[in-house]
Amino acid sequence: MAVTKKPAPKPTANKPKPKPKPAPKKSKRSFGDKVKWFFIKLCLWFFGVSIASVVFFKYVPVPFTPLMVIRAIENKFGGKEVYFDHDWEPIEKISMNLQKAVIASEDGSFLKHNGFDFKALQKAYKSNERGRRIRGGSTISQQTAKNVFLWQGKSYFRKGLEAYFTVLIEVIWGKERIMEVYLNSIEMGDGVYGAYAATEHWYRRDASSLTPMQAAGIAAILPNPRKFKATGSSSYINRRKERIVREMRSVGKINYNAK
């Protein structure tokens, strides 16, 4: 039986293997570009968090402020008793006399301005230039922005942040909410914060039933509530009380929705 031979395979030409495509080169950023993008991201993060915080506290009571924490730390390291009294009170339950008193004492143009009283700032600047008692021109809006979101201090950086937060709360909160947060967050005695705690501390009564003179007593000590007393006051505070009561009459009916 004849054996058939299989034809030998034809030699194939050696084809060159395709070269792998080079990986795309990563663009190298300079150090300056990295710093620039870092600050851009930081600013975007800051704006986002700050706006979200202001919106959040438009509806939610402020539980504590940076000043409350600072005071507690100061007392702790100073060997003093860490006393902290703060309860939130809706503005509907806060005496209208107290609302008028703080406007008369701290910010007569509160219902008219948009967060800044430039006339008061100019007067404060001239007064300080003459070497008189140092006085500030901060509005209730500015004080609220500082108390809730910032720390105490006089640096230009902090003042710039204060102006930024003042604009935010004026736009997002409105006057009534600013007054509500202000009266619930400011220091009204040593370890005493807000209208509820202050009226209980100084007068042993609730925040809705203050007389004009009692309200003026609390407003009169706001420049330095750890030094001055609303009851058993010095002659200086008593004069302030009388002046505030007189100016309360000119405040008139409070309408937070009108300027």
**CATH value at residue 174:** 1.10.3810.10
Average pLDDT over the chain, rounded to an integer: 86
For residue 86, the model assigns a pLDDT of 85
| Residue 97 counted as domain residue | yes
Q: Are 215 and 241 in contact (CB under 8 A)?
A: no
How do strand 85-86 and strand 192-193 relate by DSSP bridges?
parallel
The pLDDT tens digits for 139-180 are: 999 999 999 999 888 889 999 999 999 999 999 999 999 999
Inform me whether the pLDDT recorded for 133 exceeds 60. no
For residue 55, is it within any domain? Answer: no
Confirm whether 21 is domain-assigned.
no
- The rounded radius of gyration (Å) of the Cα atoms in the chain is 32
Task: Quote the pLDDT of residue 85.
Answer: 76
Q: Is residue 81 part of a domain?
A: yes
3-state DSSP call for residue 132?
Answer: coil
Q: Residue 139 in contact with residue 116, Cβ under 8 Å?
A: yes
Domain range holding 182? Answer: 65-251
SS3 at position 188: strand
For the ranges 9-18, 24-33, 104-113, the lowest mean pLDDT is seen at 9-18
The lowest-confidence range among 16-25, 188-197, 209-218 is: 16-25
Sequence-ordered list of residues with C-beta below 8 angstroms from that of 8, at least 6 positions apart, any chain: none
Position 5 confidence tier, pLDDT thresholds 50, 70, 90: low
- Lowest mean pLDDT: which of 23-27, 164-168, 193-197, 213-217? 23-27
Q: What is the largest CA-CA distance in the chain?
A: 139
The pLDDT of residue 136 is: 60
Question: Does residue 56 lie within any of the structural domains?
Answer: no
> Which pLDDT belongs to residue 178?
97
The C-alpha torsion from 189 through 193 and 194 to 197, rounded to 10°, is: -80
Residue holding tokens 């609390």? 218
What the block records as the tokens of 246 is 């007189």
Look at the chain and report how many structural domains it folds into: 1
CA pseudo-torsion sign 171, 174, 177, 183: positive
Alpha carbons 259 and 255: distance in angstroms, whole number: 8
Check whether 89 has a pLDDT greater than 80. Answer: yes
Would the pTM of this model clear 0.75, i.e. be above it?
yes
Does 226 map to a domain?
yes
- The band of 30, judged by pLDDT with boundaries at 50, 70 and 90, is confident
Task: Establish if 194 belongs to a structural domain.
Answer: yes
- Please tell me the predicted confidence (pLDDT) of residue 125: 63
What's the pLDDT at 10? 60
Angle subtended by helix axes 140-149 and 96-106, to nearest 10: 100
Q: For position 132, what pLDDT does the model report?
A: 57
Give mean pLDDT, residues 44-58: 95
Nearest partner of 224 among 187, 191, 184, 196, judged by Cα: 187
* Helix runs in 173-259, H state only: 175-185, 195-203, 212-220, 235-251
Domain membership of residue 79 (yes or no) is: yes
